[in-house]
């Protein structure tokens, strides 16, 4: 007679169907044939382990709307592994500008022997999203380039995972021009007239430039001002309410809380005009930055505006309430522009006074010659009446007095506490953060995204 324990622990007895419920898994598999799993299908990962035999030349491909995906052809282009369309079809004359993400070269096209400017990405595409983002600049630029006050784009292509944008060549930009010429108030009127035309056209298409500043305004030989750099243009029709940050010196206060309207461009235009006419570099951060956006403008800046109509217009353009600022069209309809400025020739024409660029012979890391570009690096003035400093003495005189009589100088007040560091709409990495994109707030005004619940 078989006991219950024998039934449970005796797999041999499981042939009886009445006791199958007691059979172990090991016993049930005893008679099954085991098969080896199939070998995995090997696949070659070209991205990381590309054999030398699989390398192919990366040809230049157009990314312009009317010829997207078409390989570029030229009698000078051999399409070899070592050659590039950029190197073989253009004579690189000089680097005329360099930023954080791209550099601009003055080139001569070997086919038509004409001069152009080419903006070239400094780094390769970091992925599909980065490529798509950079191609948006091409789309925006192509949609806007029909206006005479917007830089004309010739073509755009990608090669070896870099973006190239070929445009017309201008004589200079407004920052470089202002560093060598005095900006009179009639010139400021003409500046507002030309760039307001570009902004009015841009705003009519529901775009916001977000980075209007003297560096992004180019001058042709006949004195036409052209707006450029559409890398952070914001489409008001998009679902997103966020926009990339622009230059802090010209940034409207409401942008910090995510309020993006065409009035942000009008504010930037007004700030650029104030900087040009006063020859003071606007602050990047601090109390003075907040004071200007609160209509508390230092007297040294505002006192240069002897034209009361111009002064009134500029103060309206930088009004703290974006709803009370004039639109670009309203700036164009101001009586002075409508009745006088629009009938005058451009005072920026280079055929009247040829612009000769000079590079300082003093060496150093801040010199444009140190990196091979002639990007203008304007020596900033101290903000007027800020922290005890005045412009009555030069830098050398300040240094001399500081040696003999330290009591005559009052150093700027240090930043106390733990100031709020704000990066507008951060990207994929904070490694790209620089001083132009960092803001310190010491006023008690709270941002919508300030969750600290305390005042500074």
Annotate 401-433 with three-state secondary structure. HHHHCHHHCCCCCCCCCCCEEECCCCCCCHHHC
The CA-CA-CA angle for residues 96, 98, 99, to 5°, reads 150
How far is the C-alpha of 190 from the C-alpha of 346, rounded, in Å? 7
pLDDT at residue 83, rounded to an integer: 84
Residue 161: predicted pLDDT: 92
Residue 105 parent element (H or E): strand 102-109
pLDDT value of residue 417: 37
82 or 304: which leads in pLDDT = 304
Residue 90, SS3?
strand
Mean pLDDT of all residues in 278-292: 91
**What confidence tier does 445 reach under pLDDT thresholds 50, 70, 90?**
very low
Q: Hey, which residues does 62 pair with through a beta bridge? A: 157
Mean pLDDT of 142-158: 94
Q: Decide: 136 and 117 in contact? Cβ < 8 Å.
A: no
CA 71 to chain centre: 28
User: Hey, how many other C-beta atoms are within 10 angstroms of the C-beta on 202?
Assistant: 25
The rounded distance, in Å, linking the Cα atoms of 304 and 49 is 65
How many other CB atoms are found less than 10 A from the CB of residue 106?
19
Residue 3: the pLDDT is: 53
Domains of the chain by start residue, with CATH = 60-167 (3.30.200.20), 172-354 (1.10.510.10)
Residue 165: the pLDDT is 96
Is the confidence at residue 138, as pLDDT, over 70? yes
Average pLDDT value for residue range 58-73? 89
Out of 80-89, 270-279, 413-422, give the one with best mean pLDDT: 270-279
384 or 111, which is more confident? 111
Is 293 a residue whose pLDDT tops 70? yes
158: Cβ contacts below 8 Å, ≥ 6 apart: 60, 61, 63, 125, 131, 164
* Tokens 């622009």 -> residue: 246
- CB of 250 within 8 A of CB of 242? no
pLDDT at position 456, please?
A: 43
pLDDT digits (tens, 9 = 90+) for 382-401: 444 444 334 444 555 544 54
Highest mean pLDDT: which range of 5-9, 41-45, 71-75, 398-402: 71-75
Residues whose CB falls within 8 Å of the CB of residue 316, separated by 6 or more in sequence, listed in order: 270, 324, 325, 326
Mean pLDDT score, 184-190: 96
**Arithmetic mean of pLDDT over the chain:** 75
Average pLDDT over residues 391-416: 45
Mean pLDDT of 266-294: 93
The answer to whether 224 and 194 are in contact (CB under 8 A) is yes
Task: Tell me the two tokens of residue 30.
Answer: 């005893």
Buried b (16+ CB within 10 A) or exposed e, 117-147: bbbbbeeebeeeebbebbbebbbbbbebbee
d(CA 441, CA 456): 8
Q: Look-up: residue for tokens 């052809």?
A: 73
**Residue 385: burial class (beta carbons within 10 Å; 0-12, 13-18, 19+):** middle
C-alpha 329/C-alpha 203 separation (Å) is 10
Least confident segment among 251-260, 358-367, 424-433: 358-367
pLDDT band at 339 (very low <50, low <70, confident <90, very high): very high
Task: Mean pLDDT check: name the lowest of 62-66, 147-151, 406-410, 452-456.
Answer: 406-410
pLDDT at res. 450: 42
Residue 24 has pLDDT above 60, yes or no: no
Catalytic residues: 211
CA 270/CA 171 separation, integer angstroms: 24
Q: How far apart are CA 272 and CA 118, in angstroms?
A: 26
- pLDDT tens figures, 188-237: 999 999 999 999 999 999 999 999 999 999 999 999 999 999 989 999 99
- The pair of structure tokens assigned to 83 is 């050659």
Question: Sorting pLDDT into bands at 50, 70 and 90, what band is 1?
Answer: low
Distances (CA, A) of 422 to 51, 367, 442, 453: 46, 30, 12, 16
Burial class (CB in 10 A: 0-12, 13-18, 19+), 408: exposed
- CA nearest neighbour of 191 among 177, 203, 201, 209: 177
Q: Among candidates 198, 257, 263, 197, which has minimal Cα distance to 236?
A: 263
In this predicted structure, the answer to whether residue 353 has a pLDDT above a threshold of 60 is: no
Q: Which of helix, strand or coil describes residue 136? A: helix
Q: 298 versus 409: which is more confidently predicted?
A: 298
Q: In the chain, what percentage of residues exceed pLDDT 90?
A: 49
Q: Are 7 and 16 within 8 A, CB to CB?
A: no
Residue 29, beta-bridge partner list: none
* Assessment of whether the complete model's pTM goes beyond 0.75: no
Is residue 329 packed enough to be buried (19+ CB in 10 Å), middle (13-18) or exposed (0-12)?
middle
| Residue 119 annotated as part of some ligand binding site | yes
Alpha-carbon gap, residue 177 to 165, rounded angstroms: 24
Mean pLDDT along residues 155-168: 94
Ranges 57-61, 131-135, 331-335: which has the least confidence: 57-61
pLDDT of 318 above 80: yes
pLDDT given at position 32:
55
């Amino acid at each position: 007679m078989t006991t219950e324990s024998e039934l449970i622990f005796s797999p041999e007895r499981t042939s009886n169907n009445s006791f199958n419920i007691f059979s172990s898994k090991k016993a049930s598999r005893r008679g099954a044939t085991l098969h080896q799993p199939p070998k995995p299908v090997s696949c070659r990962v070209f991205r990381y382990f590309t054999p030398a035999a699989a390398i192919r030349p990366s040809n230049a491909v157009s990314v312009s709307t009317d010829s997207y995906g078409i390989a570029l052809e030229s009698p000078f282009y051999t399409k070899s592994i070592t050659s590039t369309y950029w190197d073989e079809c253009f004579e690189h004359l000089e680097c005329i500008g360099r930023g954080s993400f791209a550099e601009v070269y003055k080139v001569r096209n070997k086919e038509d022997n004409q001069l152009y400017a080419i903006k070239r990405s400094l780094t390769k595409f970091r992925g599909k999203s980065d490529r798509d983002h950079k191609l948006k600049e091409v789309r925006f630029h192509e949609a806007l380039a029909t206006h005479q006050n917007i830089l004309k784009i010739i073509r755009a292509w990608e090669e070896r995972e870099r973006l190239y944008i070929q445009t017309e060549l201008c004589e200079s930009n407004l920052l470089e021009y202002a560093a060598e010429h005095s900006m009179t108030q009639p010139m400021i009127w003409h500046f507002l007239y030309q760039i307001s035309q570009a902004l009015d056209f841009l705003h009519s298409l529901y775009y916001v430039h977000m980075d209007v500043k003297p560096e992004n305004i180019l001058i042709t030989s006949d004195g036409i001002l052209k707006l450029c750099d559409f890398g952070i243009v914001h489409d008001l029709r998009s679902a997103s309410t966020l926009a990339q940050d622009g230059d802090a010196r010209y940034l409207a206060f409401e942008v910090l809380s995510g309020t993006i309207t065409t009035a942000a461009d009008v504010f930037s235009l007004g700030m650029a005009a104030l900087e040009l006419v006063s020859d003071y570099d606007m602050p990047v951060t601090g109390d003075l930055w907040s004071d200007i956006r609160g209509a508390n403008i230092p007297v040294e800046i505002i006192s240069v505006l002897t034209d009361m109509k111009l002064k009134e217009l500029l103060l309206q353009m930088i009004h703290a309430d974006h709803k009370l600022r004039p639109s670009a069209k309203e700036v164009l309809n101001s009586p002075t522009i409508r009745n006088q400025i629009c009938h005058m020739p451009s005072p920026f024409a280079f055929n009247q006074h040829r612009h000769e660029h000079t590079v300082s012979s003093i060496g150093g890391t801040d010199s444009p010659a140190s990196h091979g570009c002639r990007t203008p690096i304007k020596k900033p003035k101290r903000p007027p009446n800020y922290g005890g400093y005045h412009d009555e003495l030069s830098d050398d005189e300040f240094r001399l007095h500081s040696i003999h009589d330290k009591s005559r100088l009052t150093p700027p007040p240090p930043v106390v506490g733990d100031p709020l560091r704000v990066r507008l709409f951060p990207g994929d990495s904070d490694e790209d953060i620089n001083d132009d994109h960092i803001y310190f707030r010491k006023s008690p005004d709270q941002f919508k995204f300030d969750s600290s619940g305390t005042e500074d």
